[in-house]
Chains A and B, each alone.
Chain A
Amino acid sequence: MSARRRRVLLWVATHAFAVALALMFLAPVAFMALTALMTDEQALTSDLWPRSWNWANFAEVFDRSLLLRWAGNTLLYAALGTLFTVVSSVPVAYALARFRFRGRRTAFLVVIAAMMLPPQVVAVPIYLVWARLGLTDSLWPLILPMLLGDAFSIFLLRQFLVTIPRDYTDAAKVDGCSDLRTLVRVVLPMARPAVAAVALFQFFYCWNDYYGPLLYAGVQQDHLTLSLGLATFKAFHSVQWNLTMAATLLVTAPVIVLFFLAQRVFIEGVTLTGVKG
């Protein structure tokens, strides 16, 4: 076999393997969609393809659950959480990246330690404080802390901000800019990809969060978020996989749409999370 033919065969084999793998990655979503369109009876069988296309299943999900209410709660959590996180984390990250002060390295290490702290470790005392304030059974215990900075976001922003050459900020200083003005006028325009990535990550984190709402949202149906509601929906419609899959698809769809709207931001942002040696 000539070297050329071997190369062509290898090319074909690699690409065929990759396509097969990609199909396996897509299969769960495909089965989700196909089952969502089946009748109640057919969803109990092992059929893979719907005999009739029951688009009404989606309407039934809205009838039988507070899906829109859950989406509203989730949106409130995600939107406010993202806004608070960005506003509070950018200045902290900037100070950690730019100011020279004693304990600067220690402060950064504390950020990493806080980032890696399992949320369950400190859950009991924090819960008791919110309970005393009468704010449990709501999402505020999850939203309000984001006003004081989020460790992961600070970490990510700081990693990006240290790469901005000092010349830019020094030049702004020479021109008489205050710290705040330098940040807003000089640094932020350069850091837009990082800020966008942090905002998107935080939005997704809140949108998908299950543990936080499980702890604080309570059990009343109209207080739930999408993640939490979806899990209870399955429990109450345990034999109706078609409706469960329709609900699952409805919860998943906005996330996928958002991804396609902001694909570049995502991929560049994820790259920031890997440590640079």
Chain B
Amino acid sequence: MTSPPAAPRPRWWHGEGARALLWLSPWIAGVSVFFVYPLLSTVYFSFHRYDMYTLEFAGLDNYRYLLRDPRVGVSARNTLWLVAVMVPATVLFSLALAQLVVRLKAGAGLLRTVFYLPSLVPMTAGTITFVFLLNPGTGPVDHLLSLAGVRGPDWFGDPDWSKPSLTLLSLWGCGQLMVIFLAALLDVPRHLYEAAAIDGAGAWRQFRSVTLPTIAPVLMFALVTNVIYALQYFSQAMVASRVASGSTDSPGSSFSPGYPEESLLTLPQWLFQVGFRDYSMGYACVLALLLFAVSMIFTLVLLRQFRRAEEAS
């Protein structure tokens, strides 16, 4: 007796889930190789001493050293400055710039281009240019200040002025953020402003009760991503320190990162120095985990924002 032929069951590889798996497989491989594996490996190395030749178990020694390492505190304070001053200054300046461009009746396109262009200048080129512009004494900025009877500071040579100097560089390069805000401002429905104007709201009141609530998600997103970028702050500080101190990265040359006086030292730079110049890979991994933990906090904030935005749409 033969049973009647069963209806062909849908095979598992015909489902969208299986097809998604196929399409995502290169990326899954990428995440495994360049995200998951190195993260686990970093944890492993953090319990070892490793100079690329000999590997020995070190227990918690690297973690103990973290608590005694004076540069960690210095880096944390510098980063805190960047998060508390440079990030808000850059975000607010970009927003103000976008507001200005929105209000322009003539030449808005041209001025938008002018404000946007510096953000495309290669980071090394921009940083070197600012070290030149702010060169103590002979630089154009100090020269112009002296014409006004002001004696300029030492900028990149003065530990109190090095971070403000980098902030100027960051304001100059804020074009990307400005364009994002510009798009957000143009998305605010016009009739809301008209309604507010009829109710007698002035410019500031309109900004507070119409503009700000509408662009709040974009503003929050910009703040959080820029905080995370500040935690990674590396290249501008590194190049500024190198160029202002006149050091090279040639073999055998000594370079104390964070010049002047470690005022530009950040955790990523210290990690780079420890791991890839002094070859203390184990301790570098402890620094990496610290960086990971701090940036993960802000990434989780960002992920919550995304989930909310997805649910809203």
**Closest A residue, CB atoms, query B243:** A234
Please report the total number of A residues contacting B with Cβ < 8 Å.
96
Q: Which stretch, A17-25, A50-58, A164-172, A184-192, touches the partner chain B?
A: A17-25
In the complex where A92-B23, A277-B309 touch, is A215 in contact with B128 (Cβ < 8 A)?
no
8 residue pairs bridging A and B, Cβ less than 8 Å apart: A18-B107, A18-B111, A28-B133, A92-B26, A99-B20, A232-B249, A234-B128, A275-B306
Q: Is the CB of B52 within 8 A of A131?
A: yes
Q: Is the CB of A211 within 8 A of B120?
A: no
- Chain B residues touching A, range: 35 or more
Partner of A31, one of B30, B140, B181: B140
Query: Please, which residues of chain A bring their CB within 8 A of the CB of B180?
Result: 270-271, 273-274
State the 3 A-B residue pairs at the shortest beta-carbon distance, nearest first.
Answer: A148-B30, A277-B217, A122-B38
Q: Indicate whether B71 reaches chain A with its CB closer than 8 angstroms.
A: no
Interface of chain A: mostly helix, strand, loop or mixed = helix
CA distance A230 to B249 in the complex (A): 12
Q: Is the CB of B235 within 8 A of A112?
A: no
Partner of A274, one of B30, B218, B275, B310: B218
Q: Is the CB of B38 within 8 A of A231?
A: no
CA distance A127 to B132 in the complex (A): 34
Interface residues, chain A, with chain B CB atoms under 8 Å away: 11, 14-15, 17-19, 21-22, 25-29, 31-32, 35, 44-46, 48, 88, 91-92, 94-96, 99-102, 104-105, 107-110, 112-114, 116-128, 131, 145, 147-149, 154, 179, 204, 207-208, 210-211, 214-215, 219, 226-228, 230-232, 234-236, 238, 241, 244-245, 248, 251-252, 255-256, 259, 263, 266-267, 270-271, 273-277
CA distance A113 to B295 in the complex (A): 10
- Give the distance to chain B from A168, nearest Cβ to Cβ, in Å: 17
CA distance A18 to B29 in the complex (A): 49
CA distance A35 to B255 in the complex (A): 28
**Closest A residue, CB atoms, query B45:** A124
- Give the distance to chain A from B273, nearest Cβ to Cβ, in Å: 11
